[in-house]
C-alpha cells in the first residue's frame, strides 16, 4: 500500500510540476505565433501588451489571456482605431497545447472585457471593419493559430460606435453586455443569448433614441451551413416597453433577406408611458391608466443596394387616459393612430401618417394630424395643428422636471404643406401655410438668465413661408420691449439647422443690457469616476453677454433709456443686425454725458474672446462726466481728469472685449481726433499740473484757456502716441509731443517759447548790460521733460539747454548790432557829415574828421552773456510767482 501511495504521490507531483511548467514552455511560442500570424493575415496592425497562459484559472481548461489588445486601421482609414480592449480571454482544452505549431488550436470559449469598437463607413461606402486580406494566395491558412468551435462567448462592459456617413446614420451602444451559449461546431444548433445596452440613434440629423435602455433575450436556431437564423422565443424591451417578435434572417452573398413580425404582449396604455425614457416615466407601475396602446408590425423583404424591406408598423390608442398619483391633473381623451408603411421595397415609397392625435387637460384640447411622405428623399410634409394648451398644466399632469417653470396659454389653428428641399434652398414661395397662433401670459425662467421673461401677449399670422408678428410685448428685469415684424423662415428654423431670419421694429421705454447677461456654463461628467458617462451642463459662476448663434435678424430700434453697466443712454435709436454671433451697429445715436454719441461698427462673441471694431463720434460731451463714466477715456486722455467743459472727438478703434463687452484696454488699436470746445484747467485735480504750476513761476495754469484746442493721437495695445501740436498761452507758444500707456506711465516733451517782455524788471536789468539789447524781440526756448506717472510725475526743466540757446541768441544779436554800427559810421564818412535820418548835424563844422565821433565798441565776453541769460531764467523759474507788469504789455 505504501508503495502504491508513493507511486500515486510521484505521479501527482509530476502532474503538478507539468501544470506549473507548461505555461513557461508554451507562452513564448504562443505569443510570437499569435502576433505574427494575425498581422500576416489582416490589413491592419494588431498589438497586445502581454500574453498570459494559465492552467489553473479554469482547470481542466487552459486559459489564454491577451492584455491591452488594439487593432489600428491601414488606408483608407490610416491611423483610426477599429477596436481596443482591456482583456481578450480564450479557453481551450489542455490537450490543444500539445498540438504541433502547424496545427490550429480549437477555442471553446471567448470573453472580451472592457472593449471599444469603432465602426466607420465613409461617404464612398468604404468601411474600416473589412480587414481580412481578400487575395486567397496571400492568406496562409495553415498558419492560422486558432479555430473557433465556441460553446460560449461574452462581451462585458463594452462600447460600440457605428457611424455611416453615406446613410447619415450614427448609433452608439454604451454599457454593452452580451453573451451567447451554443455550439458553433455543429451545422445546426440553438444559440441562447441575452443582451443589455444603452442605445443612442441619430438618423439624418434627427435623434430617435438617446441613451434608451434596450434589452433582448432570444433563442436563435442557427443553420450555419445555409447562414439562416430563426428567432424561436424572444422578448425585447425598449425602456420599459415589452415587445415579442418572431421570424428569420437569411444571409446571402449579394443580399440579405428577412421576415420578422412583432407586437406588444399586452394592450395596456402603460405601454405608451414605457416608450418614454425611464428618467421621465419612472414609477409607471403606480400610474392610473385607462384605454389601450398597441404596437404591431412586420418587416419583410430583401436588403441590398436597391431595396429595403417592405414594412407595415402601426401604433394605436383610443380614448385613453393616465394620472400620476402625486400630481393634481390628468391627461384624458388620448387618441393616436400612427402608421409607417412601405409596400414596394423602394426607400422613396416609405411614408408616415398620424391621424386623430388628440389629448385634453381640463378643458384645453389639442389635436394634430398629417402625413410625411418620401422619408428618405425630398420629404413631403402635410400637417395641421389646432387647439389650446395651458403650459402650466403640463407639469401638473406629467413629471417633466424642467429646470424652468412654464406658464401661459398657447392657442393655434395652423395648416402647412411643404417639401424639405424647398426649405433647405430657402424657396419659401413653395411653402403653403395659413392660420394664426398666439400666446398670452407666458413666463419663462432659468438658472442661466438672471430674470424671468414675461410675454404679456404675442400673435403670429402664417402666410406661405412667412410669419407676421403684428404684436409682441415682453418684460424682463428692468427691460420692456414692444416689437412688430416678420419671421421669414420659421419652418426652416424648426425642421432644419437654419438660423432664424427676420426683421423687427423694436421700441423700449427702458432697456437694461444687464438683464441679458447669460451665466456661463461648462460640460462635466455626471459621474466623475466614469469618463464614459454622459456630460451635464453646469454654471461656472461667471456671466457674459452672448449673441445667440441661431439669430439672423435685423432690428430697427428706439429706446428712451438704455442701461449698460453704470452708463445711462437716452433717446437711443438706430439699426442692429444680429448674424453669425455678431452684432453690426448702423447709424446708432444716443444722448449721454450732456452731449450726443454716434457709432457704427460690430461686436462678435463667436470666438473664445469677444472682439469689436467701432467708429465713434462724440459731440459736446461733458468732460468730467465722460472721464468718470468711460474707462477708455481715462486711458486715452488722463489729463481730462483736470478739465472742465465740453469736448468732441472722432474715434476709430478695435480690440478685444471682456465677457461683459467692456474693452480690454491693453488690446486697443486705433486713432482719435479730439477738440476741446470749452475747457478750464483745474491743476489741483492732477499732480502733473499742480507740480508744473509750482515750478513755472511766471505762469498761472488756472488762467489757461484751452477752448478749441485740437489734438490727434494713435493707440496700439496699451500705448497712446500723441502727435505734436501747439497752443498759445498768454503769448507763450507751447509745443507738446510724446506718449503714455494705459498703465499711466508717460513720456512727454514740452517746449515753451517764453517772450522776454513777460519777465519784467528782472530781464530789463540783465539785458541792460548788453549794449541796449532789444528785449521786446527776445524769446527763451524752455524744454521740459515729463516722465513717471500722471499722479506721480518726474518733471525735468532743461535749464542748461535754455541757457545755451539764449546765450547764442544774445551773441548773434550783439554781433549784428556791432556790424550795423560800423556800417553806419562808414556811411557817415562817405556822406561827409550828411546827417542820417533822424540825426541833427552839429552847428560847428570846422572839419569832417572832428565832426565824426565814433563811440568805442566793446564786445561782451561769453561769461557776461551767460550771466545775463541765467539772470533772465532765474526770473522765469522763480519759485514765487510775480505779478505781471501790465504797464509793459502790448
pLDDT tens digits for range 81-98: 889 999 988 887 776 666
Are 86 and 113 in contact, with CB atoms under 8 Å apart?
yes
Which helix (H) or strand (E) segment holds residue 16: the answer is helix 2-41
Span 219-246, average pLDDT: 87
* Contact call for residues 82 and 10 (beta carbons, < 8 A): no
ω into residue 76 within 30 of 0, thus cis?
A: yes
For 556-615, the pLDDT digits (tens) are 989 999 887 677 889 999 998 888 888 888 898 999 888 899 989 888 888 888 888 889
Task: State pLDDT tens for residues 395-433.
Answer: 888 887 666 667 889 999 999 888 888 877 877 778 888
Q: Which range among 14-18, 257-261, 334-338, 751-755 shows the weakest confidence by mean pLDDT?
A: 14-18
Can you give the pLDDT at residue 708?
79
User: pLDDT of 6-45, one tens digit each?
Assistant: 444 433 333 343 444 444 445 555 666 666 767 777 788 8
- pLDDT band, very low/low/confident/very high, at 552 (cuts 50, 70, 90): confident
The Cβ of residue 266 has, within 10 Å, a number of other Cβ atoms equal to: 11
Q: How far apart are CA 266 and CA 694, in angstroms?
A: 100
Mean pLDDT of 766-774: 48
pLDDT of residue 409: 92
Looking up cell 418587416 gives: 299
Q: Sorting pLDDT into bands at 50, 70 and 90, what band is 183?
A: confident
Residues above pLDDT 90, as percent of the chain = 17
Average pLDDT over residues 721-735: 82
User: Which of the pair, 659 or 288, is modelled with greater confidence?
Assistant: 288
Residues 6 or more apart whose Cβ sits within 8 Å of residue 826: none
Question: Pick the residue with more confidence: 816 or 466?
Answer: 466
Q: Residue 578 in contact with residue 562, Cβ under 8 Å?
A: no
Q: State residue 713's pLDDT score.
A: 87
d(CA 66, CA 164): 30
- 476-490: per-residue pLDDT in tens? 888 999 999 998 877
The pTM of the whole model exceeds 0.85: no
Q: What is the mean pLDDT of residues 370-384?
A: 85
Does the structure show a pLDDT above 50 at 659? yes
Q: Which helix (H) or strand (E) holds 196?
A: strand 188-203
Whether residue 843 has pLDDT greater than 80: no
Q: Residue 556 has what pLDDT? A: 92
Distance between CA atoms of residues 14 and 33, nearest Å: 28
pLDDT confidence tier of residue 159, bands split at 50, 70 and 90: very high
Residue 803: pLDDT over 50: yes
User: Alpha helices, DSSP H only, in 398-512?
Assistant: 420-424, 490-495
The residue behind cell 548790432 is: 817
Q: Tell me phi and psi for residue 474, to 5 degrees.
A: -140, 160
Query: What confidence score (pLDDT) does residue 770 get?
Result: 47
Tell me how far apart the alpha carbons of residues 876 and 799 are, in angstroms, rounded to a whole number.
10
Share of the chain above pLDDT 70, in %: 74
Pairing of strands 169-181, 146-164: antiparallel
Q: Which residue has the higher pLDDT, 514 or 287?
A: 287
Say yes or no to pLDDT of 806 above 80. no
pLDDT digits (tens, 9 = 90+) for 47-57: 888 877 776 56
Does position 143 have pLDDT exceeding 70, yes or no?
Answer: no
Grid cell at residue 3: 508503495
Min mean pLDDT across 174-188, 212-226, 850-864 is at: 850-864
Mapped onto helix, strand or coil, the DSSP state of residue 637 is coil
Residue 235, strand partner residues = 217, 244
C-alpha 682/C-alpha 689 separation (Å) is: 8
- The confidence score (pLDDT) of residue 167 equals 73
Answer with the residue of higher pLDDT: 829 or 222: 222
- Give yes or no for residue 624 having a pLDDT over 90: no
For the cut 70, the answer to whether the pLDDT of residue 196 exceeds it is yes
332-360: average pLDDT = 90
Q: What is the pLDDT of residues 281-337, one digit of tens each?
A: 666 778 888 988 899 999 999 988 788 899 999 999 999 999 988 889 999 999 999
Q: Which of 514-523, 728-737, 817-826 has the highest mean pLDDT?
A: 728-737
For 865-876, what is each residue's pLDDT tens digit? Answer: 566 666 655 555
Residue 168 CA to its chain's centroid (Å): 26
Please give the pLDDT value at position 217: 92
Q: What is the mean pLDDT of the chain?
A: 77
Amino acid at each position: 500500500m505504501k508503495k502504491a501511495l508513493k507511486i500515486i504521490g510521484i505521479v501527482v507531483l509530476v502532474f503538478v510540476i507539468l501544470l506549473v511548467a507548461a505555461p513557461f514552455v508554451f507562452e513564448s511560442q504562443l505569443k510570437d505565433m499569435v502576433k505574427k500570424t494575425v498581422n500576416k493575415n489582416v490589413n491592419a496592425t494588431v498589438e497586445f501588451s502581454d500574453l498570459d497562459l494559465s492552467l489553473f484559472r479554469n482547470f481542466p481548461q487552459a486559459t489564454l489571456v491577451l492584455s491591452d489588445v488594439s487593432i489600428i486601421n491601414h488606408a483608407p482609414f490610416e491611423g483610426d482605431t477599429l477596436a481596443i480592449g482591456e482583456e481578450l480571454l480564450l479557453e481551450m482544452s489542455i490537450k490543444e497545447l500539445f498540438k504541433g505549431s502547424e496545427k490550429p488550436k480549437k477555442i471553446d470559449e471567448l470573453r472580451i472585457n472592457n472593449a471599444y469598437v469603432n465602426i466607420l463607413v465613409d461617404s464612398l461606402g468604404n468601411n474600416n471593419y473589412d480587414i481580412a486580406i481578400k487575395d486567397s494566395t496571400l492568406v496562409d491558412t495553415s498558419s492560422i493559430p486558432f479555430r473557433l468551435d465556441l460553446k460560449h462567448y461574452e462581451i462585458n462592459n463594452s462600447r460600440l460606435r457605428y457611424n455611416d456617413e453615406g446613410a447619415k446614420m450614427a448609433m452608439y451602444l454604451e454599457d454593452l453586455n452580451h453573451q451567447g451559449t451554443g455550439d458553433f461546431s455543429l451545422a445546426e444548433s440553438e444559440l441562447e443569448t441575452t443582451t443589455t445596452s444603452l442605445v443612442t440613434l441619430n438618423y439624418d440629423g434627427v435623434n430617435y433614441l438617446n441613451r434608451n435602455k434596450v434589452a433582448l433575450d432570444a433563442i436563435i436556431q442557427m443553420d450555419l451551413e445555409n447562414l439562416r437564423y430563426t428567432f424561436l422565443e424572444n422578448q425585447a424591451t425598449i425602456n420599459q416597453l415589452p415587445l415579442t417578435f418572431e421570424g428569420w434572417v437569411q444571409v446571402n452573398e449579394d443580399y440579405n433577406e428577412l421576415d420578422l413580425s412583432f407586437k406588444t404582449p399586452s394592450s395596456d396604455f402603460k405601454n405608451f408611458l414605457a416608450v418614454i425614457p425611464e428618467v421621465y416615466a419612472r414609477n409607471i407601475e403606480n400610474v392610473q391608466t385607462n384605454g389601450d396602446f398597441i404596437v404591431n408590425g412586420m418587416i419583410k423583404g430583401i436588403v441590398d443596394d436597391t431595396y429595403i424591406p417592405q414594412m407595415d408598423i402601426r401604433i394605436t390608442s383610443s380614448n385613453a387616459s393616465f394620472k400620476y398619483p402625486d400630481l393634481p391633473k390628468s391627461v384624458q381623451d388620448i387618441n393616436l393612430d400612427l402608421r409607417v408603411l412601405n409596400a414596394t421595397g423602394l426607400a422613396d415609397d416609405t411614408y408616415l401618417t398620424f391621424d386623430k392625435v388628440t389629448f385634453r387637460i381640463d378643458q384645453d384640447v389639442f389635436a394634430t394630424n398629417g402625413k410625411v411622405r418620401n422619408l428618405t428623399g425630398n420629404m413631403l410634409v402635410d400637417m395641421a395643428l389646432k387647439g389650446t394648451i395651458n403650459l402650466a398644466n403640463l407639469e401638473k399632469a406629467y413629471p417633466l422636471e424642467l429646470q424652468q417653470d412654464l406658464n401661459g396659454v398657447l392657442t393655434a389653428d395652423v395648416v402647412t404643406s411643404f417639401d424639405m428641399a424647398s426649405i433647405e434652398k430657402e424657396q419659401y414661395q413653395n411653402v403653403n401655410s395659413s392660420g394664426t397662433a398666439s400666446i398670452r401670459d407666458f413666463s419663462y425662467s432659468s438658472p442661466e438668465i438672471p430674470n424671468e421673461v414675461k410675454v404679456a401677449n404675442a400673435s403670429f399670422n402664417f402666410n406661405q413661408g412667412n410669419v407676421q408678428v403684428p404684436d409682441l410685448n415682453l418684460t424682463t428685469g428692468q427691460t420692456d420691449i414692444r416689437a412688430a415684424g416678420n419671421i421669414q423662415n420659421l419652418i426652416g428654423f424648426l425642421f432644419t439647422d437654419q438660423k432664424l431670419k427676420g426683421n423687427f421694429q423694436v421700441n423700449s421705454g427702458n432697456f437694461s443690457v444687464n438683464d441679458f447677461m447669460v451665466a456661463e456654463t461648462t460640460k462635466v461628467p455626471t459621474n466623475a469616476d466614469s469618463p464614459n458617462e454622459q456630460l451635464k451642463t453646469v454654471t461656472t459662476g461667471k456671466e457674459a453677454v452672448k449673441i445667440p448663434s441661431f439669430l439672423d435678424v435685423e432690428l430697427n430700434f428706439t429706446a428712451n433709456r438704455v442701461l449698460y453697466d453704470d452708463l445711462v443712454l437716452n433717446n437711443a435709436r438706430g439699426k442692429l443686425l444680429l448674424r453669425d454671433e455678431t452684432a453690426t451697429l448702423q447709424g446708432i445715436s444716443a444722448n449721454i454725458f450732456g452731449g450726443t454719441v454716434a457709432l457704427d461698427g460690430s461686436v462678435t462673441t463667436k470666438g473664445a474672446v469677444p472682439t469689436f471694431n467701432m467708429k465713434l463720434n462724440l459731440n459736446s460731451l461733458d468732460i468730467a462726466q465722460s472721464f468718470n463714466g468711460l474707462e477708455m477715456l481715462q486711458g486715452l486722455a488722463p489729463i481730462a481728469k483736470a478739465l472742465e467743459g465740453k469736448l468732441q472727438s472722432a474715434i476709430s478703434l478695435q480690440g478685444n472685449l471682456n465677457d461683459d463687452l467692456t474693452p480690454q484696454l491693453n488690446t486697443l488699436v486705433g486713432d482719435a481726433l479730439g477738440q476741446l470746445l470749452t475747457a478750464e484747467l483745474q491743476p489741483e485735480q492732477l499732480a502733473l499740473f499742480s507740480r508744473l504750476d509750482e515750478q513755472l513761476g511766471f505762469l498761472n495754469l488756472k488762467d489757461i484757456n484751452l477752448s478749441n484746442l485740437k489734438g490727434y493721437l494713435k493707440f496700439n495695445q496699451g500705448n497712446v502716441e500723441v502727435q505734436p501740436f501747439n497752443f498759445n498761452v498768454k503769448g507763450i507758444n507751447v509745443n507738446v509731443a510724446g506718449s503714455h500707456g494705459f498703465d499711466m506711465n508717460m513720456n512727454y516733451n514740452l517746449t515753451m517759447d517764453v517772450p522776454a517782455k513777460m519777465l519784467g524788471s528782472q530781464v530789463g536789468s540783465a539785458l541792460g548790460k548788453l549794449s541796449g539789447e532789444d528785449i521786446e524781440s527776445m524769446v527763451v526756448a524752455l524744454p521740459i521733460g515729463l516722465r513717471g506717472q500722471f499722479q506721480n510725475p518726474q518733471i525735468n526743466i532743461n535749464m542748461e539747454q535754455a541757457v545755451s540757446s539764449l546765450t547764442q541768441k544774445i551773441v548773434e544779436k550783439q554781433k549784428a548790432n556791432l556790424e550795423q554800427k560800423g556800417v553806419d559810421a562808414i556811411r557817415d564818412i562817405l556822406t561827409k557829415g550828411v546827417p542820417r535820418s533822424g540825426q541833427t548835424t552839429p552847428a560847428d563844422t570846422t572839419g569832417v574828421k572832428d565832426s565824426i565821433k565814433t563811440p568805442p565798441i566793446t564786445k561782451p565776453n561769453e561769461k557776461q552773456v551767460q550771466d545775463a541769460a541765467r539772470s533772465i531764467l532765474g526770473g522765469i523759474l522763480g519759485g514765487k510767482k510775480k505779478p505781471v507788469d501790465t504797464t509793459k504789455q502790448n
